[in-house]
């Protein structure tokens, strides 16, 4: 039995930089002068934006589930977390580190997306409440763990109440995460039953 566990079992390779992607799209839209051209262009992007947002929400859920698993599977004998580069940030890097930037961007963009789909496409695409709940839980998780900067062992993991109080079978959680990584599809995590965040 190993005394270490991975900070990231492989989910990080499957996430998309949603911030950069959306900024590129809106930069492209701003360069168009005709409202009709903007509508056509946004229609081309809308489904992909939605898909990328879903991917990021699935990633955040995966992080929460992985933390839940690591903490509970090692509660009696905590293990060292390997691969957490946030614990090695210098004072200068810590001063620059805004660990809620990505989640805040996505949280703020939800309203814009709903408004823009109504304006450009003529039908409002509603962001699922479950996505908002996952994002809220992940934001709380980031704050409780100071952006992972002090997370050296599984005993250092602090779970938000909504995650801490889940009654999930640990082997099912591990199997689901392994399946998502193996199939390179984080969205399967959103199919988890009996989860109320």
Q: What is the pLDDT of residue 197?
A: 82
Tokens for 153, please give them. Answer: 């062992």
If you ran DSSP here, which 8-state letter would residue 128 be given?
A: P
User: pLDDT of 93-148, one tens digit each?
Assistant: 988 889 999 999 999 999 999 999 999 999 999 999 999 999 999 999 999 999 99
pLDDT at 37 over 90: yes
Residue 94 lies in a domain: yes
Domain residues for the domain of 64 are 10-191
Q: Is the pLDDT of residue 70 over 90?
A: yes
CA distance readout (Å), 19 to 49, 53, 147: 11, 10, 18
Query: Per the domain annotation, does 5 fall within a domain?
Result: no
The answer to whether residue 2 scores a pLDDT higher than 90 is no
> 10 Å Cβ neighbour count for 13?
8
Q: What is the pLDDT of residues 46-57, one digit of tens each?
A: 999 999 999 999
Identify the CA nearest to 142 among candidates 128, 159, 163, 154. Answer: 159
Q: Per residue in 111-124, pLDDT tens? A: 999 999 999 999 99
65 in a structural domain: yes
134 within a domain of the structure (yes/no): yes
Q: How many residues does the chain have?
A: 197
Mean pLDDT of the chain: 94
Residue 76 falls inside a structural domain: yes
Residue 42 lies in a domain: yes
* Region 4-24 average pLDDT: 94
Per-residue model confidence (pLDDT) at position 194: 65
Between 69 and 166, residue with greater pLDDT: 69
Number of domains making up the chain: 1
Does pLDDT of 65 surpass 80?
yes
What is the reported pTM? 0.94
Of the pLDDT bands very low, low, confident and very high (cuts 50, 70, 90), residue 169 is very high
In a domain, 2, yes or no: no
Residue 193's pLDDT is what? 67
Q: Are 125 and 50 a contacting pair, CB within 8 Å?
A: yes
Torsion of CA 62, 89, 94, 151, to 10 degrees: 40
Percentage of the chain exceeding pLDDT 90: 88
How does pLDDT run across 73-86, given as a tens digit for each residue? 999 999 999 999 99
> Residue 4 falls within a domain, yes or no?
no
Contact 157, 84 (CB under 8 A): no
Pairwise CA distance, residues 70 & 6, whole Å:
9
């Amino acid at each position: 039995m190993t005394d270490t566990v991975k900070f990231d079992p492989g989910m990080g390779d499957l996430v998309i930089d949603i911030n950069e992607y959306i900024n590129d799209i809106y930069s492209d839209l701003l360069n168009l002068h005709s409202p009709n051209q903007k509508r056509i262009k946004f229609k081309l992007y809308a489904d992909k934006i939605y898909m990328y947002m879903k991917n990021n929400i699935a990633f955040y859920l995966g992080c929460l589930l992985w933390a839940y698993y690591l903490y509970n599977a090692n509660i009696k004998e905590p293990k060292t977390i390997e691969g957490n580069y946030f614990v090695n940030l210098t004072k200068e890097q810590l001063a620059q580190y805004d660990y809620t930037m990505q989640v805040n961007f996505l949280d703020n963009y939800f309203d814009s997306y709903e408004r823009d789909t109504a304006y450009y496409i003529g039908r409002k695409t509603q962001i699922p409440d479950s996505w908002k709940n996952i994002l809220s839980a992940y934001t709380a998780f980031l704050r409780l763990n100071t952006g992972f900067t002090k997370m050296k062992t599984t005993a250092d993991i602090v779970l938000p109440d909504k995650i801490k109080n889940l009654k999930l079978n640990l082997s099912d959680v591990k199997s689901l995460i392994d399946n998502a990584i193996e199939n390179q599809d984080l969205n399967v995590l959103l199919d988890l039953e009996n989860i109320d965040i």
